Amino acid sequence: MKYALALFSLFLFQVSVSAQGFKGELYYSADAKFFETSDSLSFDQILILSQKRQFNPWAEGDLSQTEVSYWVEIDLEDFLNELEGFDSLYFYPYGYEIMDLYLQNSKGVQRIESDRYYNNIFDRIQYQSTQYFKISKSQLVDNQQLFLRLEYVRSKIDLTRLRFRFSTPAGHNLLTRYISANSFKSQLLAYFFLGVAAVLMIFNLILFFNMKERQYIYYGVFLLFQLMYYSQISPLLASFFGYESRHFYFWIGTVSQVLINLSYLLFIRHFLDFKVTLPRFDKVVTGIAILLIIIASLVGVIIWLNPYSELQEHVMNGQRLFMAAFAFGGVVYLWKVYPNKLVYFVIAGTVVFTTGALMTMFLFNLDYMVAGSAIESTIFALGLSYKIKTITQENQKAQLESLSSKLGALRAQINPHFIFNSLSSIQYLIQSEQKTKALSYLTKFSKFVRQVLENSIDVNVTLEKEIELLKVYLDLEALRFDHAFEYHFEMPEEDSLIFQEVPLMIIQPFVENAVKHGLMPSPKDEKHLWLRFKEDEHFIFCEVEDNGIGRKAAKERKNKTRHRPSRGLMLTEERLKLSNSWKEDVQYIEFKDLAQGTLVIIKIPKQ
């Protein structure tokens, strides 16, 4: 952020300079003449050639050649007037690989060797890539000439585009606090993209460590290599990746181009899950990934041994064209055969990124690639969000299906429990020759079973149907125990509560427990059971109250008879937990001991 603010301040400074009417030229572009030779000449021989006027301007279209020395004669006579009052000037080189400067001193002419990668003698302006060298006026040959020797080992540049610029100390001082509009726009775009890329990289690394899916680590690495490569736009950013060592920086910048393609390819492979969806195409992608690893290793070794090697340039250009062709071919193939909408994010991102890379390759403007990468990163960020959303929805669907299965299984364990008890009661009535009661019981039991079967397809039923089932069940129990108790239902005045859904047969185990262990052992003549219903924002509350013997006496009675503990209450609590979508630590069942009897409060999560 502080670097971005610095750039903005410099841009404001530029506007301020213009507003104050600064009329002078920051640069003086000197005319230069050249002499080309493949021979090794001494500087004295070069001076003789200069005196014989053997130095000439470049012919249109001249390209640099290897194993050739280009001697440059720069006459600064016209510029010396600007240097009055100054004892030095600043030289700004452009388009060189190997450059020797010839400067005069007390012992004659001194040769100062400079090499872009191994021995770079030039300093750099902080906020731009402009390099400079400070020269004393007394170091100029004949007090007005500067001689250079250029050599090109790898690049083939248009020699007519070479520029040799100079400035006064005052002009240089202004340049150090000045940034051009074009440079400002390029760096601002770069900072914006790299800032977004850095945030996305960290976000993807966090996702990887939490979700353990490779697509996130590959995309995070892809963004990291982009940060390395695009840092060349701004020296401030480049300094984080070894810019001061130009050989190392050239090595890391070139290799990172291959690694960008490699990590991008691996990200796409896992993002679209080629191994499952397109196993044959996955083998092709895996093979290309191995090829890119070999290319990155080969180029890395070549540059480390000789940064001027033409072989690495041919390999890199071949790699760029091959990956561009594969990208467009792969896009067409995926568009035709891939079965998921995720492919549209890949198609859009790949086309934009590849187009920006090709425009940069042929138009020599990195802004196109930066803009393409920025759009591509946005597209893939949306793609990852879409995929996460899709996976989340699929997981939720699977969880709901699993929940439905578990609830069905638990309900299946409760229904036979009640059916067994009911058939035992019918058997008892028949054996005791109570035929009328047996027939009435059997009629109500068949009605109850029919209602349960009608609702068995659904995990949940309305509270209205649940109450109907409870009434039939209580009628059965009342017949079984010769109407020894009465039951009462209390509902709020508003009847909207009856339309709320609850798990089927969720209250029955508590009613059975109250009748069997609370009311039936009681010696009282009047035995009552109350069921009350109310609600709040998240829960339906059901109160089951009886005026029986209470929990303490019931427990003592169970211990004496060695009664097998019922699983109904335990299973019901498990069903309540499974039906709670908030996953809170909630107490679903609360028992309260009353002066006469027991009160059970059941919290049923709203569906």
Indicate if the pLDDT at residue 15 is higher than 60: no
Distance between CA atoms of 73 and 55, rounded to whole angstroms?
7
The beta strands (E) that lie in 24-120 are given as 28-29, 32-37, 69-75, 88-92, 98-105, 108-115
Of residues 385 and 52, more confidently modeled: 52
Indicate if the pLDDT at residue 237 is higher than 80: no
Indicate if the pLDDT at residue 17 is higher than 50: no
Cβ count near 12 (within 10 Å): 10
Cβ count near 277 (within 10 Å): 16
Distance between CA atoms of 594 and 505, rounded to whole angstroms?
26
Q: For the packed helices 214-230 and 366-431, what is the interaxial angle rounded to 10 degrees? A: 170
pTM of the model: 0.59
Q: Of the candidates 580, 479, 593, 602, which has an alpha carbon nearest to the alpha carbon of residue 531?
A: 602
Cβ count near 27 (within 10 Å): 16
Name the 3-class secondary structure at 442.
Answer: helix
What confidence score (pLDDT) does residue 180 get?
A: 64
Least confident of 17-31, 227-241, 371-385: 17-31
Indicate if the pLDDT at residue 25 is higher than 60: no
Q: Once rounded to an integer, what is the mean pLDDT over residues 501-527? A: 88
What confidence score (pLDDT) does residue 8 get?
A: 41
Residue 310 — pLDDT band, cuts 50, 70, 90? confident
* Tens digits of residue pLDDT in 187-213: 676 677 677 777 777 777 777 777 677
What confidence score (pLDDT) does residue 406 get?
A: 62
431-605 — its CATH code?
3.30.565.10
Quote the longest CA-to-CA distance of the chain.
142
Q: Once rounded to an integer, what is the mean pLDDT over residues 387-406? A: 72
* Tens digits of residue pLDDT in 423-450: 777 787 788 878 787 888 888 888 777 7
| φ/ψ (deg, to 5) at 385 | -60, -45
* CATH fold of the domain at 25-175: Immunoglobulin-like (2.60.40)
- Are the C-beta atoms of 246 and 116 separated by less than 8 Å? yes
* Tens digits of residue pLDDT in 100-129: 999 988 888 889 998 888 888 888 776 677
The CATH 2.60.40.2380 portion of the chain extends over: 25-175
Q: Which of 38-47, 227-236, 576-585 ranks highest by mean pLDDT?
A: 38-47
Cβ count near 457 (within 10 Å): 8
* Tens digits of residue pLDDT in 146-174: 999 998 887 677 787 788 889 888 888 88
Which residues are registered as beta bridge partners of 605?
539
Of residues 192 and 496, more confidently modeled: 496
Indicate if the pLDDT at residue 582 is higher than 60: no
Distance between CA atoms of 352 and 418, rounded to whole angstroms?
67
Least confident of 91-100, 353-362, 520-529: 353-362
The CATH 3.30.565.10 portion of the chain extends over: 431-605
Distance between CA atoms of 440 and 442, rounded to whole angstroms?
5
What confidence score (pLDDT) does residue 567 get?
A: 61
Of residues 312 and 482, more confidently modeled: 312
Q: Which of 135-144, 189-198, 429-438, 497-506 ranks highest by mean pLDDT?
A: 135-144
Residues 6+ apart with CB under 8 A from 124: 130, 131, 132, 235
What confidence score (pLDDT) does residue 400 get?
A: 64
Distance between CA atoms of 248 and 116, rounded to whole angstroms?
11
How many Å separate Cα 536 from the centre of its chain? 40
What confidence score (pLDDT) does residue 425 get?
A: 74
Of residues 108 and 233, more confidently modeled: 108
Average model confidence (pLDDT) for the chain?
A: 80
Which residues are registered as beta bridge partners of 56?
34
Residue 403 — pLDDT band, cuts 50, 70, 90? low
Indicate if the pLDDT at residue 536 is higher than 90: no
Q: 497 to each of 492, 534, 541, 606, how far by Cα in Å?
A: 8, 8, 11, 11
* Tens digits of residue pLDDT in 329-343: 888 888 888 887 888
What confidence score (pLDDT) does residue 6 get?
A: 45
* Tens digits of residue pLDDT in 445-484: 887 777 767 666 666 888 988 898 888 888 888 877 778 8
What confidence score (pLDDT) does residue 284 get?
A: 92
Residue 298 — pLDDT band, cuts 50, 70, 90? very high
Distance between CA atoms of 49 and 35, rounded to whole angstroms?
9
What confidence score (pLDDT) does residue 458 get?
A: 67
Q: Which of 329-333, 491-495, 526-530 ranks highest by mean pLDDT?
A: 526-530
Distance between CA atoms of 465 and 455, rounded to whole angstroms?
9
What confidence score (pLDDT) does residue 417 get?
A: 61
* Tens digits of residue pLDDT in 547-575: 999 988 888 887 776 555 556 677 777 77
Complete DSSP assignment for 82-95: GGTT-SEEEEE--S
- Are the C-beta atoms of 149 and 143 separated by less than 8 Å? no
